[in-house]
Amino acid sequence: MKFVVQGQTYYVEMYGSGQPLLLLHGFTGSCQTWHPFISTWSRHMQCVAIDILGHGRTDAPSAVQRYNIEIIAKDIAMLFEQLEIKKAHILGYSMGGRLALTFAIRYPQYVRTLILESSSPGLKTEKERMKRREEDERLAQFIEKHGVASFVDHWENIPLFSSLQRLPKNMQQMLREERLQHTAIGLANSLRGMGTGAQPSWWETLHQLHMPTLLICGEDDEKFCRIASEMVQLLPNGTLITVPHAGHVVHMEQRERFGTLVQQFVLRGGLLHGD
C-alpha cells in the first residue's frame, strides 16, 4: 500500500491483526528485511513495515533537508494518523533504530514498547558529529559518482559486516539484492540527512523514556554492545540482551533467537503494561 505524507509517498506493508508492531529497517534495507519473521509475528500482532524515505518503493526526494530524522519521525506520526494507529510497539534496526528512538522521544504517546537492534542515540559531541558528517559526505559522493552497485561492493566488505561472511551464500545474496534495489540519490541523501552525524544526540534525553525498552546487540559487535551497555544504564525501563554468535545484523545471523526475543518482549510488554 502507498500513503502520501507531507508530500512524499511511502510504501507500507501490513499483516495480521492485534496490537501494531512498526518495523523500521536499516540503511540500504527495506520491508524485505522483516519478511522472514512476518508469518510468525503476524499471528499475534499487526505487523506494519515501511520503506523509510530514500529506500525501496518509498520516494527518494532530491532535497537533502527532507531526510532530517525528526521530519521523518513526524512522517511516521502522520502515517499513524492515516492508519488510525493510536499506539504501537516500535522495532528499529541500526539506522531504523535511530529513527525509532527519535520517534519515541518526540512522540512517546504513540509508543507501547521500544526495541532497538544494533542502534545508538547518536554521537555525544559536535566534534564527533562533524567528523562523521564529513565521512558520510564522502560516501554519498562515492554513491553518486560510481553508482549503487559499486557502493554495495564496498559496503558489504566493511568490518561492521564481517560476521555476515558466516552466513550461507543464498542469505548473503538475498541481502545483496535488497541493497541493490535502491536509487543513488536515495542512499546518498539518507547518509547526508539522517546519518549518525546529522541527527541530534539523544544521550541526554534517554532518561525521559519510560516505556519498556529492549536493546539487542550481537556479541561480536563490540562497538554497539558498548553503546547498548551505556544506554541501558540511562533508560528507566531498559533491558539489554546480548546475542552470542552474532555481529551487527542479529536478525539475520541468529534469526530464530531474534524472532523469539521480539515476540516475547512485545507480548509480555503488552500484557504487563496494559493499554
What does each C-alpha distance from 258 to 44, 72, 243 come to in angstroms? Answer: 16, 26, 8
How far from 140 is each of 40, 132, 156, 180, 187, CA to CA, in Å?
37, 12, 16, 15, 7
Per-residue pLDDT of 16-64, as tens digits, reads: 999 999 999 999 999 999 999 999 999 999 999 999 999 999 999 999 9
Q: Across residues 4-9, what is the average pLDDT?
A: 98
Cell numbers linked to 101:
528512538
Average pLDDT, the chain: 96
**Grid coordinates in use for 206?**
534517554
pLDDT > 70 fraction of the chain, expressed in percent and rounded: 98
Q: Is the per-residue pLDDT at 250 higher than 90?
A: yes
Determine the pLDDT at residue 249: 97
Cα gap 236→212, rounded to integer Å: 8
Order of strands across the sheet with 111-117?
2-5, 8-15, 46-50, 20-24, 88-93, 111-117, 213-218, 238-243
Do residues 235 and 116 make contact, with C-beta atoms less than 8 angstroms apart?
A: no
Cell of 159: 568490518
Tallying the residues shown for the chain, one arrives at 275
Question: What is the rounded distance in angstroms from the CA atom of residue 176 to the CA atom of residue 108?
Answer: 34
Check whether 269 has a pLDDT greater than 70. yes
Secondary structure (3-state) at 1: coil
Residue 273: is its pLDDT beyond 50? no
Q: Is 177 exposed, middle or buried (0-12, 13-18, 19+ CB in 10 A)?
A: exposed
Domain boundaries along the sequence of the chain: 2-273
pLDDT over 50 at 272, yes or no: no
> b or e along 71-91 (b: 16 or more beta carbons within 10 Å of the residue's beta carbon)?
ebbbbbeebbeebebebbbbb
Q: Which has the minimum average pLDDT: 111-115, 227-231, 271-275?
A: 271-275
pLDDT at 109 over 90: yes
Q: What region, left, alpha or beta, does residue 213 occupy, with left being phi > 0 and alpha being psi -120 to 50 degrees?
A: beta
**DSSP secondary structure letter of residue 21:** E
Nearest to 201 by CA among 98, 114, 109: 98
pLDDT in tens, 175-193: 999 999 999 999 999 999 9
Please, which pLDDT band fits residue 271 given cuts at 50, 70 and 90? very low
- Report pLDDT for 268: 85
State the average pLDDT over residues 210-237.
97
Whole-prediction pTM value?
A: 0.96
In CATH terms, 2-273 corresponds, of 3.30.565.10, 1.20.120.350, 3.40.50.1820, 3.20.20.80, to: 3.40.50.1820
Given a cut of 60, whether residue 274 has pLDDT beyond it is no
Asked if pLDDT for residue 275 goes beyond 60, the answer is: no
Contact 28, 51 (CB under 8 A): no
CA distance 6 to 214: 30
